[in-house]
């Protein structure tokens, strides 16, 4: 039982490049989330998916797109990376969008130069 | 003003000390109050949660909520080096609403 897995663990991009961050959970959870964590800013919600087939914007969605590929997988895409997107990205899941407990993955450390 | 304010620390204490971690908030609609622990280079994990006001105890950890003051605390008794981590408070109104996280307080327990 791996919980929430994320790939890659580290990535360096040049400004303007694109990439997709992958996330998968094996807990049969309905809801999945993408956060970014920056010093002094805490965890900020980028996008979330309350259930398979639905996605909604969070607090800081600009510059990102998401795909809920199936119940297990939720990907985050940066179409044209900018230095302001340098951050640690966490994927999380919960049984439902009304659940208190979110289970987090290990994170992806992204640097955009 | 942020909805949730948390002192970033770092907070250094000797092993065995009682630790007090705190958050203040501005949204009176918050009903659920959570504490997450995040070890270095790991994702956060839920430590405990409290509904509305009052105290909740789990082993060496006690969560306290004072809704009248919009102030929550996490106390750690007999702190251990393994408690060294960043502690994030989180709050939630209930229903299908997003969770709001504090910025985290970094704690170091020195042997």
User: What does the buried/exposed string (b/e) look like for A60-86 if buried means 16 or more CB atoms within 10 Å of the residue's CB?
Assistant: bbeebebebeebbbbbbebeebeeebb
Q: What is the pLDDT of residue B88?
A: 97
CB–CB contact B43 A107 (8 Å): yes
- pLDDT of residue A19 exceeding 90, the answer is yes
Contacts of B4 in chain A (CB under 8 A): 42
Of all residues in chain A, the one with the smallest CA distance to B39 is: A106
By Cβ distance, the residue of A40, A44, A105 closest to B8 is A40
Regarding predicted confidence, which is higher, B3 or A87?
A87
Which among B60, B107, B101 is positioned nearest to A40, based on CA atoms? B101
Average pLDDT over every residue of A55-68: 96
- pLDDT of residue A51 exceeding 80, the answer is yes
Read off the DSSP letter of residue A96: S
pLDDT band at A97 (very low <50, low <70, confident <90, very high): confident
Q: What is the mean pLDDT of chain A?
A: 95
Residue B94 Cα, gap to closest chain A Cα (Å): 7
Of all residues in chain A, the one with the smallest CA distance to B104 is: A42
Question: What does the pLDDT look like over B45-57, one tens digit per residue?
Answer: 999 999 888 899 9
The phi and psi torsions of B66 (rounded to 5 degrees) equal: -120, 95
Question: What does the pLDDT look like over B11-35, one tens digit per residue?
Answer: 999 999 999 999 999 999 999 999 9
Q: Are A5 and A67 in contact (CB under 8 A)?
A: no
Residue A51 Cα, gap to closest chain B Cα (Å): 12
Distance linking the first and last C-alpha atoms of chain A:
36
Average pLDDT over every residue of B101-107: 95
Regarding predicted confidence, which is higher, A19 or A101?
A19
Hey, is the C-beta of A61 within 8 angstroms of any chain B C-beta? no
pLDDT band at B106 (very low <50, low <70, confident <90, very high): very high
By Cβ distance, the residue of B43, B96, B104 closest to A42 is B104
Which among B26, B10, B25, B22 is positioned nearest to B64, based on CA atoms? B22
- pLDDT of residue A67 exceeding 90, the answer is yes
Contacts of B34 in chain A (CB under 8 A): 100
Kindly give, in sequence order, each residue whose CB lies less than 8 Å from that of residue B5, ignoring residues fewer than 6 positions away.
B23, B24, B25, B102
CB–CB contact B41 A107 (8 Å): yes
- Compute the count of residue pairs across chains A and B with CB atoms less than 8 Å apart: 48
Which of A37, A57, A58 best tests the B interface by mutation, with the highest count of B CBs <10 A? A37
CB–CB contact B92 A100 (8 Å): yes
């Amino acid at each position: 039982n791996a919980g929430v897995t994320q790939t890659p663990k580290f990535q360096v991009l040049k400004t303007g490049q694109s990439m997709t961050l992958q996330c998968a959970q094996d807990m049969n959870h309905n809801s999945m989330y993408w956060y970014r964590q920056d010093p002094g800013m805490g965890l900020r919600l980028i996008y979330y998916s309350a259930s398979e087939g639905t996605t909604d914007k969070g607090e800081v969605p600009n510059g990102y797109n998401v795909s809920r590929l199936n119940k297990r997988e939720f990907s985050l895409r940066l179409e044209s990376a900018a230095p302001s997107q340098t951050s640690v990205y966490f994927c999380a899941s919960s049984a439902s969008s009304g659940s208190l407990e979110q289970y987090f993955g290990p994170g992806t450390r992204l640097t955009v130069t | 003003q942020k909805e949730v304010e948390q002192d970033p620390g770092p907070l250094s204490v000797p092993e065995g000390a009682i630790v007090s971690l705190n958050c203040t908030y501005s949204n009176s609609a918050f009903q659920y109050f959570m504490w997450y622990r995040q070890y270095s280079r790991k994702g956060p994990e839920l430590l405990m949660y409290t509904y509305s006001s009052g105290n909740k105890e789990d082993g060496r950890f006690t969560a306290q909520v004072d809704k009248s003051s919009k102030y929550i605390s996490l106390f750690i008794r007999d702190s251990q080096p393994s408690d060294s981590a960043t502690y994030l408070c989180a709050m939630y109104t209930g229903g299908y609403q997003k969770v709001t996280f504090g910025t985290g307080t970094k704690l170091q327990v020195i042997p």
